[in-house]
């Protein structure tokens, strides 16, 4: 357990070593898993290939050769990364040798084989609202449908193992959720985006989040690992947006304001639910604080980022004007880039995020980290 008085930099550096040790032990023994299963919900930040099975636009697929260049075998898998994403690396910290597989990639036999270890229902381009992503990307899977898929898995578990064993497994498992960014992107780009409407929009978003967590709870979930919205205005696509709209360089501030304002509302909702729902526990990662910390400390003993603004894969200003597809150039020093493409972090950043979510202190993760959550 991290010392709560320890400074944020030393904690982040220390968790690099800690996560490596946990992953190494997991390779040695399957019994080192801290939880029986991990179930993943959300968007492209944690999608491991569900969108490869959907009728979506090119922007909502990550099946180009550049994606997965640092993944084992150097092949695209549907992850919006040069390698592993945060869900993959968090699963390693929890002691799993492999990340929960994409639900849509599994046959009926595959679902039965993996349902007691974990499955990923995440879909790139999706959001908390059913409408999010549909116009821009096509057949994405919103959170409501992701929960329907999970409900079907729970039904299979009950038929195979019975209600009592299923409830015991779900009660001990981790439910990892990373969503909401696409809802913010679409709201920010719409004509209704206005300072006077921001509070109402964020309130509706948090209400939707609350509904889904309560639904998961009713299906048996008790331990929730939630990652909040990062500073979206600082990703390459939004830096390009500011350059086009304002003619100046820097982060797109209105989107950052939305991201920052959402955290206390999300934190308050989770606290309220944990007070109301017996046995519920959660770990909320402050993604805004985590990314801001890396911006302020690009070089430490644990990492060395030389480019905090441009995408490693892409072209034009900030590497965001041209998509990361089969013709896009790729930087050579990928571990030194904060961003992999116009909208997603590099594997190096995902590793920092996973390490912090797993073992960080209350500077970044509240009220407990995921390691502590797993032990409850």
pLDDT in tens, 181-203: 999 999 999 866 666 689 999 99
Please tell me which residue in 44, 99, 123, 178 is annotated as part of the active site. Answer: 44
Q: Which of 43, 262, 283, 344 is catalytic?
A: 344
Residue 21, pLDDT > 50, answer no
Q: How far is CA 307 from CA 18, 30, 279, 311, 340, in A?
A: 26, 38, 43, 9, 11
Dist CA 27 CA 86 (whole Å): 19
344 tagged catalytic: yes
Please determine, for residue 102, whether its predicted confidence score (pLDDT) is greater than 50.
Answer: yes
State the pLDDT at residue 190. 86
What is the pLDDT at residue 5? 32
What mean pLDDT, rounded, does the chain reach? 91
Position 279 pLDDT exceeds 80: yes
3 domain residue, yes or no:
no
Residue span of the structural domain in which 177 resides: 8-375
Which CATH number belongs to the domain containing residue 82 in this structure?
A: 3.40.50.1110
pLDDT at 32: 86
Binning pLDDT at 50, 70 and 90, where does residue 13 land?
very low
Count CB atoms within 10 A of the CB of residue 249. 12
Report how far residue 46's alpha carbon sits from residue 84's, in angstroms, rounded to the nearest whole number: 9
Count of domains in the chain?
Answer: 1
Q: Determine the pLDDT at residue 123.
A: 98
Model confidence at 17: pLDDT above 80: no
User: Is 44 an annotated catalytic residue?
Assistant: yes
Asked if residue 217 belongs to a domain, the reply is: yes
pLDDT at 22: 41
Residue 215 counted as domain residue: yes
Q: Which of 43, 114, 341, 346 is catalytic?
A: 341
**Mean pLDDT score, 299-310:** 96
What is Dmax (Cα atoms) for the chain?
Answer: 61
Average pLDDT over residues 307-326: 95
> Per residue in 43-95, pLDDT tens?
999 999 999 999 999 999 999 899 999 999 999 999 999 999 999 999 999 99
- The answer as to whether 1 is a domain residue is no
Q: What is the mean pLDDT of residues 316-333?
A: 93
User: Average pLDDT, stretch 154-179?
Assistant: 97
Query: Does the pLDDT value for residue 161 go beyond 50?
Result: yes
Active site residue 183: no
């Amino acid at each position: 357990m991290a010392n709560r008085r320890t400074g944020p930099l030393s904690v982040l550096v220390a968790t690099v070593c800690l996560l490596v040790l946990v992953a190494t032990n997991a390779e040695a023994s399957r019994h080192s898993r801290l939880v029986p299963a991990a179930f993943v919900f959300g968007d492209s930040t944690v999608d491991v290939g569900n969108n490869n099975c959907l009728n979506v636009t090119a922007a909502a697929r990550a099946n180009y050769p550049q994606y997965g260049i640092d993944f084992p075998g150097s092949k695209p898998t549907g992850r919006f990364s040069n390698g592993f994403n945060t869900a993959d690396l968090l699963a390693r910290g929890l002691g799993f040798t492999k990340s929960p597989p994409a639900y849509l990639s599994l046959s009926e036999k595959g679902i039965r084989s993996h349902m007691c270890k974990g499955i990923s229902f995440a879909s790139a381009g999706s959001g908390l609202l059913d409408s999010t992503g549909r116009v821009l990307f096509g057949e994405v899977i919103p959170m409501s449908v992701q929960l329907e898929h999970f409900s079907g898995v729970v039904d299979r578990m009950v038929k195979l193992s019975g209600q009592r064993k299923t409830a015991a497994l779900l009660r001990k498992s981790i439910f990892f959720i990373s969503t909401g960014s696409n809802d913010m992107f679409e709201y920010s780009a719409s004509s209704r985006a206005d300072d006077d409407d921001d509070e109402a929009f964020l309130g509706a978003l948090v209400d939707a989040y609350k509904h889904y967590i309560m639904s998961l709870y009713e299906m048996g979930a008790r331990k929730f690992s939630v990652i909040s919205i990062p500073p979206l205005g600082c990703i390459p696509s939004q830096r390009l947006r500011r350059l086009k709209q304002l003619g100046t360089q820097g982060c797109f501030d209105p989107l950052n304001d939305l991201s920052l304002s959402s955290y206390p509302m999300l934190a308050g909702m989770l606290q309220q639910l944990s007070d109301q729902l017996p046995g519920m526990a959660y770990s909320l990662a402050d993604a805004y604080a985590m990314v801001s910390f890396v911006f302020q400390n690009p070089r430490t003993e644990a990492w060395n980022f030389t480019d905090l603004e441009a995408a490693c894969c892409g072209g034009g200003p900030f590497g965001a004007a041209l998509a990361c597809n089969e013709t896009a150039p790729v930087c050579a020093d990928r571990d030194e880039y904060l961003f992999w493409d116009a909208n997603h972090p590099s594997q190096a950043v995902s590793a920092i995020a996973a390490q912090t979510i797993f073992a960080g202190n209350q500077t970044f993760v509240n009220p407990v980290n995921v390691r502590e959550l797993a032990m409850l």
